[in-house]
Amino acid sequence: MKQLIFCLVFLPITLIAQDYVDVFKFGYSYTDQAKFKDTNENTPINALNAAVTLPIELNSKHVFLTGIDFSSQNLWLSPEYSQSTTLYNTLLKVGLATTFSEKWNTTLVLLPKIASDYKTISGDDFNFGIYAIAKLKKSEYFKFRFGLYASTELFGVFATPIFGAYYLSPNKRFEIDASLPITAAVNYHFESVTVGFDYFAIGRSYNISQETSTLVYVDQRPIEASTYIQFGLAENSILLRAKLGYSSNTNEVYAQGDRLNYRISAFSFGDNRTQLNSDILSSIFFKFEAIYRIHLKKNNATSKI
């Protein structure tokens, strides 16, 4: 069954395929009671994330991309543990976007990161990812994208192809932004109010110093889907979102060194690992997000990214 587990990965770089850039994003989510499978125990889940993305235009064809993402999540990994665990992830984004023509452009981003409980930082806390994507502009309203994300993780090597598109209706009210199997959003704009649906898949591993007889890590693969209402302020430069969603809450604990061969998108190969905690069942979550957005001019080279 574990070979068929739907494992998707969070793309930790803002996709600047639109005529705007989300320079700063902040989010906080809360789950009241996520139950452990086959027990009467449960855990609250508190999660926080923040991201800064700074595109710097070098010339008419190249844009340097830099930024940082930070996230934390506090939960009980097992009802047998004596305390909850906070999982931290800090990721640096360094890349280059290149425009080849009116129709074609590419983005390449290097993604070094530190992911653990941050109690003791060691070499096991460091991993490295790479994100490469090409974008084809089919019309003023439609763009197609395809590429690859790959990273080293404590369970082994992960890789997934990316296929997606961006569409904005001629009246600029209906919008679709998808990079499957990682993320997707569909929304409709009513002046300063927007309603929508989004899907977000996260794949990370964390080195932790849990109170166990063996050193362990967390293989985290929650899949989130939510509906939201968004309010725009200051000519839609400041966006406030309230979300209600459903998460799969996959946080599996394994002994360090217990690895699979590799994972490609939804499929794990050579996965004979022994899980050391009970599964956390899916649950409803509430989330608040705040975004600072810069709108780009049509003739700005950055808008071609």
What are the residue boundaries of the structural domains of the chain, listed by start? Answer: 2-304
Q: CA-to-CA distance for 65 and 230, rounded, in angstroms? A: 27
Bridge partners (DSSP) of residue 73 are 47, 87
Burial 112-127 (b: 16+ CB within 10 A, else e): ebbbbbbeeeeebbeb
Q: What pLDDT score was predicted for residue 304?
A: 36
Sign of CA dihedral 121, 150, 277, 50: positive
How far the first Cα of the chain sits from its last, in Å, is 40
Q: What pLDDT score was predicted for residue 75?
A: 97
Residues of the chain with pLDDT under 70: 1-19, 211, 296-305
Q: What pLDDT score was predicted for residue 18?
A: 53
Q: CA-to-CA distance for 224 and 248, rounded, in angstroms? A: 7
**Does residue 171 contact residue 185 with C-beta atoms inside 8 Å?**
no
CATH of range 2-304; options 3.30.1360, 2.40.10, 2.60.40, 2.40.160:
2.40.160
pTM for this prediction: 0.88
